[in-house]
Amino acid sequence: MSLSDLFKKKEKWSSDKCGQFLAHQFSKRIIENYNDGKLLYLHLSSCTSDKSTLLQEWIIFEMFLMVNGVSAFFKGSSDSFQILDYFHSYCHENFKQVGVFSEDFDFSDLLKSRYTSYSKALKETKQPGGLHWVSKKVLSNLNCNDKDIAEIMAISLYYTKVSIAYKKLIADLMKSIKIVD
């Protein structure tokens, strides 16, 4: 850290603005990767669900990764909960605008259901470990073969890579902003 960095004043953001920024970055990445055919689930050979359902499930899985990143950074503070509320709201709106979720889609119930099942799987203590079990859960929700070790490994590696990227995004953002509500 340089001396000038010590005196650099952080920009003040509301939880709303932070949640909106994270939702924008998240949605933009998902949509670009989908359009470019780069989303991992598009390359899982055993998936049998239609593309629309796969995309919805994948978005929820990726949101879970972002939520874990925000939660790890803020460690249960009220800022974390507020940012995540805004993040979820803006993501839902962003994906409704591009037709991924319909107006009557029960977004909050799916989020709650998937987050609960992914969290339980991640906390699983039996071998080979939580990441294996959450990967199987993701594959099951995508209607893929959850016994295919290659696909389990692909999800596990993706989980790790994207989790690190989201945590870095949040840490880098928080170097330049301060949440004030």
DSSP 10: P
For 75-121, what is each residue's pLDDT tens digit?
Answer: 878 899 999 999 999 999 999 999 998 888 888 899 999 999 999 99
- Is 72 inside any structural domain? yes
**pLDDT band for position 54 (cuts 50, 70, 90):** confident
What per-residue confidence (pLDDT) applies to 20?
97
| Rounded Cα distance, 30 and 28, in Å | 6
What is the C-alpha to C-alpha distance for residues 39 and 111, in angstroms, rounded to an integer? 20
pLDDT at 5: 57
| Rounded distance between C-alpha atoms, residue 153 and residue 147, angstroms | 11
Residue 181, in any domain of the structure:
no
C-alpha distances out from residue 99 to 52, 90, 102, 126, Å: 10, 14, 6, 40
Share of the chain above pLDDT 70, in %: 96
Q: Per-residue pLDDT averaged across 156-170, rounded? A: 94
To 10 degrees, what angle do helices 51-74 and 130-141 make? 150
Residue 44 confidence (pLDDT): 79
Query: Which residue segment(s) compose the domain that 166 sits in?
Result: 12-31+52-175
Residue 41 lies in a domain: no
Is 105 within a domain? yes
For the residues 132-139, what does the mean pLDDT come to?
95
CB 57 within 8 A of CB 40: no
Would residue 81 count as lying in a domain?
A: yes
pTM of the predicted model, to two decimals?
A: 0.89
Residue 3 lies in a domain: no
What pLDDT is recorded for position 19? 97
| Residue-by-residue DSSP string for 40-103 | GGGG-TT--S-HHHHHHHHHHHHHHHHHHHHHHHHTT-HHHHHHHHHHHHHHHHHHHHTTSS-T
Residue recorded with tokens 């199987």: 136
Tell me whether residue 160 is in a domain: yes
At 3, the pLDDT band (50, 70, 90 cuts) reads: very low
User: Is 2 part of any domain?
Assistant: no
Mean pLDDT (the chain, rounded): 90
pLDDT at 105: 83
Q: What would the pLDDT profile of 24-45 be if each residue is shown by its tens digit?
A: 999 999 998 888 887 777 777 8
The rounded distance, in Å, linking the Cα atoms of 173 and 153 is 30
Number of domains in the chain: 1
